[in-house]
Amino acid sequence: MTDPTPAGEPPVCSSRGCRAPAAWALRWNNPRLHEPERRKTWLACPAHRGSLGDFLDARGFLRDVTALPGSHTLEA
């Protein structure tokens, strides 16, 4: 049983060791590794949206942050 996202289950935060439901999608691109149009996506819970965003932003990788549809934690 290795399906990481069973149907109906909320997506989980990408931060290491965190199992909280994700509320944000951080879209990023590493110009050294990826085509300019390519976007990688990290998912973040409200607690890790800042730290994951800062990690990407400090490296100049962060392109876009969007709230996940269906999130119940949209209040900032």
Q: Which of 10, 12, 14 is nearest to 27 (CA)?
A: 14
For residues 45 and 68, is the Cβ–Cβ distance under 8 A?
Answer: no
CB of 24 to Zn ion, least distance (A): 10
Stretch 46-65: interaction string toward Zn ion, x if CB under 5 A? --x-----------------
Q: Which of 10, 12, 20, 40 is in the footprint of Zn ion by CB under 5 A?
A: 20
Min. distance of Cβ 47 from Zn ion in angstroms?
A: 5
Instruction: Decide whether 9 or 33 has the Cβ nearer to Zn ion.
Output: 9
Q: Which spans of this chain sit near Zn ion (rule: CB under 5 A)?
A: 13, 15, 18, 20, 45, 48
